[in-house]
């Protein structure tokens, strides 16, 4: 099939082209994000392949349908950027990559946590400038802490396994907890996890029910000095509320690989520009805030899995096979 790959980077192209050797689709790459204004680029394509920050609202999907696009093949797990009802209205199935590498994201959680706990980012910069003083670099042990996980899917449970390896007591919340769990953790209500955890890691999809699940009220119920880590979706946290809690000390450390207004910022080089997002600019000034640009998935293994699953989804559609990774409005 003829596939328009939007919001593509060098690593997308290399891994998709390598994986496509076994599938034989015609891949055309666009750097532009897919939206209503770029939808005309999809003319004469059977499939569009968007990424996590592309916006497929009703207007965009209507335009894609008029252009003859028959399939939306997301190369990511998140689908909150797609109007699933509109896709169903126009008869365009939507597929995704539900589990490309849970361990990749889970390990990034601890990259953030270890950097915050041992201040290695600050130490690195000091040493490069010839400053070998230790003052201000006091950290804390992860061992013995209570680690809270909100969302016990594949990534959440992979994170729980690592936390247990560090010697943490693990608490978890999920609206649909697994019937069988191979991790030594205690399932509780969301409120109980928030109240008891020293460290909280978010692993839920962004839905209407989870939007701003961490807000001024819920943050206030947490332990003073709580460490919050988000490698899932930026909209799970009310960033203004988090900013206030950082100022008061209620939040002792914040590690973000996602941000609720990351579109147009993350994945871009803005080093020669003025950062127009005042909240994001303010966050970067805190010594106990660490922000990475949505790179939790970015490992060789994950990229290969994403490419293979995405192309398999397209081949299944082309061959009239069941779409095991289809996302429907009921999701």
Q: Indicate the number of domains in the chain.
A: 2
Query: What are 255-292's pLDDT values in tens digits?
Result: 999 999 998 899 888 999 989 999 999 999 999 999 99
Flag whether 200 is in a domain. Answer: yes
Where in the sequence is the domain holding 77, given as residue range(s)?
Answer: 2-100+299-318
122 Cβ contact list (under 8 Å, min separation 6): 136, 137, 287
Flag whether 37 is in a domain. Answer: yes
Check if 262 is active-site: yes
d(CA 331, CA 324): 14
Check if 126 is active-site: no
Flag whether 208 is in a domain. Answer: yes
Q: What average pLDDT is seen over the chain?
A: 96
Q: What is the pLDDT of residue 78?
A: 86
Of the candidates 25, 96, 203, 233, the residue annotated as catalytic is: 233
Residues 73, 144, single domain; the answer is no
Residues 247, 176, single domain; the answer is yes
Q: What is the pLDDT of residue 135?
A: 96
Residues 33, 82, single domain; the answer is yes
Q: What is the pLDDT of residue 53?
A: 87
Residues 123, 218, single domain; the answer is yes
Flag whether 171 is in a domain. Answer: yes
User: Confidence band (pLDDT; 50, 70, 90) for 179?
Assistant: confident
Using the Cα atoms of residue 105, residue 156, residue 19 and residue 40 in order, give the sign of their dihedral.
negative
| CA angle (170 as vertex; 108, 100 as ends), nearest 5 | 35
Asked if the model's pLDDT at residue 46 lies above 70, the reply is: yes
Asked if the model's pLDDT at residue 330 lies above 80, the reply is: no
Check if 294 is active-site: yes
Residues 215, 77, single domain; the answer is no
Q: What is the pLDDT of residue 249?
A: 97
Residues 312, 286, single domain; the answer is no
Domain of 23: which CATH number?
A: 3.40.50.720
- Range list of β-strands (E), the chain: 2-5, 26-29, 47-49, 71-73, 94-95, 146-150, 169-173, 186-187, 199-202, 226-230, 251-256, 289-291
Of the candidates 268, 294, 301, 324, the residue annotated as catalytic is: 294
- Give the SS3 label for residue 251: strand
Residues 106, 90, single domain; the answer is no
Residues 174, 81, single domain; the answer is no
Query: What are 130-156's pLDDT values in tens digits?
Result: 999 999 999 999 999 999 999 999 999
Q: What is the pLDDT of residue 103?
A: 96
Residues 55, 86, single domain; the answer is yes
Q: What is the pLDDT of residue 99?
A: 83
Q: What is the pLDDT of residue 263?
A: 84
The answer to which of 9-13, 16-20, 213-217, 228-232 has the lowest mean pLDDT is 9-13
Flag whether 231 is in a domain. Answer: yes
Flag whether 155 is in a domain. Answer: yes
Flag whether 325 is in a domain. Answer: no
Of the candidates 262, 268, 282, 301, the residue annotated as catalytic is: 262
d(CA 299, CA 305): 10
Flag whether 66 is in a domain. Answer: yes
Cα of 188 vs its chain's centroid, Å = 24
Q: What is the pLDDT of residue 331?
A: 58
Contact status, residue 170 vs residue 184, Cβ threshold 8 Å = yes
Residues 126, 116, single domain; the answer is yes
Residues 120, 188, single domain; the answer is yes
Asked if the model's pLDDT at residue 188 lies above 80, the reply is: yes
Query: What are 85-133's pLDDT values in tens digits?
Result: 999 999 999 999 988 899 999 999 999 999 999 999 999 999 999 999 9
Query: What are 3-37's pLDDT values in tens digits?
Result: 999 999 999 999 999 999 999 999 999 999 999 99
* Phi then psi dihedrals of residue 102, to 5 deg: -55, -35
Residues 18, 157, single domain; the answer is no
């Amino acid at each position: 099939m003829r596939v328009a790959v939007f919001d593509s980077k060098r690593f997308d192209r290399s891994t998709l082209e390598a994986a496509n050797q076994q599938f034989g689709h015609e891949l055309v790459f666009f750097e532009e994000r897919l939206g209503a204004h770029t939808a005309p680029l999809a003319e004469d394509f059977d499939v569009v392949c968007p990424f996590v920050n592309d916006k497929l609202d009703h207007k965009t999907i209507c335009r894609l349908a008029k252009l003859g696009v028959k399939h939306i093949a997301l190369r990511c797990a998140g689908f909150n950027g797609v109007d699933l009802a509109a896709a169903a209205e126009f008869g365009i199935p939507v597929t995704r990559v539900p589990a490309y590498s849970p361990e990749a994201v889970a390990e990034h959680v601890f990259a953030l946590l270890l950097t915050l706990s041992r201040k290695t980012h600050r130490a690195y910069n000091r040493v490069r400038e010839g400053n070998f003083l230790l003052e201000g670099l006091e950290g804390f042990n992860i061992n013995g802490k209570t680690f809270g996980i909100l969302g016990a899917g594949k990534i959440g449970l992979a994170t729980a396994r690592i936390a247990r390896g560090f010697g943490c007591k693990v608490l978890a919340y999920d609206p649909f907890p697994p019937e069988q769990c191979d991790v030594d953790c205690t399932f509780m209500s969301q409120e109980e996890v928030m109240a008891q955890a020293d460290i909280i890691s978010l692993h839920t999809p962004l839905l209407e029910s989870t939007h701003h699940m961490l807000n001024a009220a819920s943050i206030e119920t947490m332990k003073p000095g709580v460490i919050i880590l988000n490698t899932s979706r930026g909209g799970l946290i009310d960033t203004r509320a988090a900013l206030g809690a950082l100022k008061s000390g209620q939040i002792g450390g914040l590690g973000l690989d996602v941000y609720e207004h990351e579109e147009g910022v993350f994945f871009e080089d803005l080093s020669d520009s003025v950062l127009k997002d005042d909240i994001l600019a303010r966050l970067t000034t805190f010594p106990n805030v660490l922000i990475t640009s949505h790179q939790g998935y970015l490992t060789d293994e994950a990229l290969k899995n994403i490419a293979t699953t995405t192309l398999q989804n397209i081949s299944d559609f082309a061959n009239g096979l069941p779409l095991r990774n289809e996302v429907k409005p009921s999701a």
